[in-house]
Structure 1
Amino acid sequence: MGNNNRRTVKFVTLGCKLNFSETATIGELLAKHGIVPARDDETPTMCVVNTCSVTEMADKKGRQHIRSLVKKYPDALMVVTGCYAQLKSEEIAALPGVDIVLGSEQKLDIVDYVEKWLETGRQEEVVVTPHTRISKFSPSCERGDRTRYWLKVQDGCNYYCTYCTIPMARGRSRSGTIESLVAQARQVADEGGKEIVIAGVNIGDFGTDTGERFIDLIKAFDQVEGIERYRISSIEPDLLTDEIIEFCAGSRAFMPHFHIPLQCGNDEVLKLMHRHYDRALFAHKIDKIRQLMPDSFIGVDVMVGSRGETQERFDDSYHFIDSLEVEHLHVFPYSERPGTMALRIPHIVPQREKQRRVARMIALSDKKQRAFIERYVGTVRPVLMEQPHGQGPMHGFTDNYIKVNVPPCQALVNKVVDVKLLKINDDLSVDAEVVTA
């Protein structure tokens, strides 16, 4: 690992917010053992790539990052973890320059494997736990270089949708306890944190292994003094109960902001996907939110080009989504994943047609999001200001998740201030001026 006495690490994180939270936790664990983040002008003694495997493109990006880091830092210890590492450990281990491959169960035990590697001076064998044995809940509550904290409350999934490898990559659903998670939220408040994003793989499934309920968790969170804002990162429509929506609408600190996976707006395709709802239920959830929280920002996951999505079914899905009062679509093309039941479904959508459908949905998303933001230009909203990076403006998000830019001012960092929204930019952020601080 070179002759530099200073032990440093460079991180690359791919995929979901949960991965970013866990990378921050890994960083904290390594820092306690004297391995600190490398400066921009410093050659790291160690690299950690936390991978995603939700699509074939995610796997490809993982390989590209690994190869790039190995080429740039040939003497650095190379550690690869995350979902791709869990699902295809041998494939990763075969890449030149990779030293340690950690599966989901071992991700937060990274210090033990790194120290052993340093002691023996030889490459560690691949360590991956089969998905049927992934049973440990590893807590994570970090902000990294952000102002907002990501608090992991749940991991794994029991749903086994036909297109998805998450249960194989992260195991069955498991959770922390309300007592332990509230203690972490209090610690965030003690550190001066103002906002917590509640993260997990299927957070509405919280407590299936502990006998507790998600509604009781968020009620307990709402009582933590010092935390001014909570956001629910993503929750399945069948698990987003009316009780949860009603509580958030009347709560002290839960923001008018939801992210709800739909995947497809056609009921026949939803059945092929083995989703746990139909579009009537989904539409009810949107209507319920709008009724109680009319200013809410609602994001929706949409997969296009899945097996069985004929042109007629796609058009039906598009028109249904167009009819929904939602603000943003996270659109991605279906990707064939080995070992999934979707491979048995007939009707394969050609790649070029997938790309056309993605473009159509993204255009719809941009139209919806711009129309939503335009409603608030000229109004005043509360914003939690983030740490500025570089010489550009600093930014933050309104309570209803509109990204705003203001001139940099260090005194505003991690403060909730009122800003007046002035002008929409091409990237759908909004230039704003601070009204009260």
Structure 2
Amino acid sequence: MRVFCKKCRTFVPANNTPILYMIDTSAFQGKKAAYFTLGCKLNFSETSTFGKMLQDLGVSTAQKGEQADICLINTCSVTEVADKKCRQAIHRLVRENPGAFVVVTGCYAQLEADEVAKIEGVSLVLGSNEKANLVQFLSDAWTGAPTAKYYREKTKDIKSFAPSCSKGNRTRYFLKVQDGCDYFCTYCTIPYARGFSRNPTIASLVAQAQEAAAEGGKEIVLTGVNIGDFGKTTGEKFIDLVKALDGVEGIQRYRISSLEPDLISDELIEYCAKSRAFMPHFHIPLQSGSNTVLKLMHRHYDRELFAEKIHRIKELMPDAFIGVDVMVGCRGETPECFEETYTFLDSLDVTQLHVFPYSERPGTSALSIPYVVPEKEKKQRVKRLLELSDQKTHAFYERYIGQQAEVLFEKATRGRAMHGFTKNYIRVELPAKDANPDFDNQLISVKLGEMTRDKESLMCII
């Protein structure tokens, strides 16, 4: 792991032993950068860290209407729609910033480097192994060192870990604790895009959390590709990481972005239920409530195990918010299998469903499964599950109307309502007339009122 040392103006490993090359920082001075991120929280966290690194080198963020000297697009490739959005974003930034040095990285860049490199205006394409050295690549390009159009290692050779703990223009910090995945589910390209599971040490992550606390951070979201698999690189355990982070003074809230059900141990649930700072909030991917489909997907659990985990969480944390990922219309999902999923989800005490239609991805083994769901049917299934999600979320919110709750407020545009979240992730709205810039990043006790008109939040009174 390499970090930028402000004192010596070069990059050094985490143990502070200087590396052999120097960065020509003069090439960065006075430049402006534009950033665009697609996809998951992990991507947003990484982009924010890239921005912070460039800022330390004298690069400012281009404001609205300003032309950028550098454009960084961090891409996603989870669906065909995501690929299309990536191409559109690249074309737009190239058009709006003529002459800019355009860097494309992320999952789409890893999987389709040749295709991305051919887009007019793209200067450099960095794969998953190379993005950690973004600044070095920029320095080489600007000081005349020989450079290629793109750099990408094969999946088996993706071994670098780009550390990330930043908030960008947000209130909450996002701490990257793990990258890559060893699961190779039949529908998924992520292992090919991000490589095998790997992680930094607990000690280094605690140090990053301590730095966030010193900067005034109060809440940290743990991000990664398969977080529960933490420890493959260092021989440590995810539960030990949770315990260590719980002891960091100043950080008052932690949230775990996503945990595979087979990696949620009873020990973890029991610890979170009584921990100082880990919130009663879980996000657990189900993908399908049909055991037949789960087998076709090569998932590592069945619906019975999933239900058992939900029951255990609710038993120890009755107020817990539980979000669930569901994939609709994948190959092999017959009408009977979908009905199994719908009935199963209806029976579970969960709060919200993150529903997305299956998208065929080149190179995945799911393409060999014979039963194909028509697009019209996919849309109908998505609609039904989204309606079920709304019912569950609204019922959950209504349970807390009239109660007192502690809310961490987030910065809002002057004259607009402020928003924040309770411990159990209920979104709260403070009317514009009561909003105060001093409330940003503050934990404030409020009384929860009725649902807002858009049904997205609860009104609150301070």
Shared fold, TM over 0.5: yes
> Identity over aligned residues, as a percent?
57
In the TM superposition, what is the alpha-carbon distance from 1:8 to its structure 2 partner?
0.6
- Cα RMSD for the two superposed structures: 1.4
SS at match of 1:104: coil
State which of 436, 440, 456 in structure 2 corresponds to 1:409: 436
State which of 189, 209, 216 in structure 2 corresponds to 1:165: 189
In the TM superposition, what is the alpha-carbon distance from 1:427 to its structure 2 partner?
4.1
- The residue that corresponds to 1:67 in the other structure is 91
In the TM superposition, what is the alpha-carbon distance from 1:91 to its structure 2 partner?
0.7
- Separation in 2, partners of 1:223, 1:172: 29
- The residue that corresponds to 1:296 in the other structure is 320
Evaluate the alpha carbon distance shift between residue 224 and residue 339 of structure 1 in structure 2; reply closer, same or farther with a 3 A threshold.
Answer: same
- The residue that corresponds to 1:108 in the other structure is 132
Code of the residue aligned with 1:45 in structure 2: it is: D
State which of 305, 310, 327 in structure 1 corresponds to 2:351: 327
State which of 415, 430, 433 in structure 1 corresponds to 2:458: 430
State which of 101, 123, 142 in structure 1 corresponds to 2:166: 142
- Separation in 1, partners of 2:29, 2:245: 43
The 5 Å alignment of 1:247-286 reads: 247-286=271-310
In the TM superposition, what is the alpha-carbon distance from 1:355 to its structure 2 partner?
1.2
Q: Is the Cα contact below 8 Å between 2:29 and 2:59 reproduced in 1? A: no
Q: Is the Cα contact below 8 Å between 2:107 and 2:193 reproduced in 1? A: yes
- Separation in 2, partners of 1:397, 1:247: 22
- Separation in 2, partners of 1:72, 1:136: 33
The 5 Å alignment of 1:232-381 reads: 232-381=256-405
Q: Which moved more, 1:329-338 or 1:387-396?
A: 387-396
In the TM superposition, what is the alpha-carbon distance from 1:344 to its structure 2 partner?
0.8
Code of the residue aligned with 1:332 in structure 2: it is: F
Q: Is the Cα contact below 8 Å between 1:117 and 1:124 reproduced in 2? A: no
SS at match of 2:311: helix
SS at match of 2:261: coil
In the TM superposition, what is the alpha-carbon distance from 1:108 to its structure 2 partner?
2.5
Q: Given the two structures, how large is their TM-score scaled by the length of structure 1?
A: 0.96
- The residue that corresponds to 1:42 in the other structure is 66
- Separation in 2, partners of 1:389, 1:192: 21
Q: Which moved more, 1:94-103 or 1:71-80?
A: 71-80
In the TM superposition, what is the alpha-carbon distance from 1:27 to its structure 2 partner?
0.3
Q: Is the Cα contact below 8 Å between 2:103 and 2:123 reproduced in 1? A: yes
Q: Is the Cα contact below 8 Å between 1:137 and 1:174 reproduced in 2? A: yes
Structure 2 unaligned residues grouped into runs of 5+: 1-27
- The residue that corresponds to 1:31 in the other structure is 55
Q: Is the Cα contact below 8 Å between 2:394 and 2:455 reproduced in 1? A: no
The question of 1:202 aligning with 2:220 is answered no
- The residue that corresponds to 2:21 in the other structure is none
- Separation in 1, partners of 2:198, 2:29: 40
Q: Is the Cα contact below 8 Å between 2:172 and 2:219 reproduced in 1? A: yes
Code of the residue aligned with 2:81 in structure 1: it is: M
- Separation in 2, partners of 1:133, 1:22: 20
- Cα distance per residue 1:185-229 (max 9 Å; x no partner): 111111111111111100000002211000011011111111110
Code of the residue aligned with 2:195 in structure 1: it is: G
- Cα distance per residue 1:10-62 (max 9 Å; x no partner): 11100000000000110011112222111113111111110000111110100
In the TM superposition, what is the alpha-carbon distance from 1:423 to its structure 2 partner?
2.1
Structure 1 unaligned residues grouped into runs of 5+: none
Code of the residue aligned with 1:416 in structure 2: it is: L
Q: Is the Cα contact below 8 Å between 1:70 and 1:76 reproduced in 2? A: yes
Q: Is the Cα contact below 8 Å between 2:45 and 2:175 reproduced in 1? A: yes
Give the paired residue count: 431
- Cα distance per residue 1:112-162 (max 9 Å; x no partner): 112222223997421111111001122110011111100011000000100
Code of the residue aligned with 1:378 in structure 2: it is: G
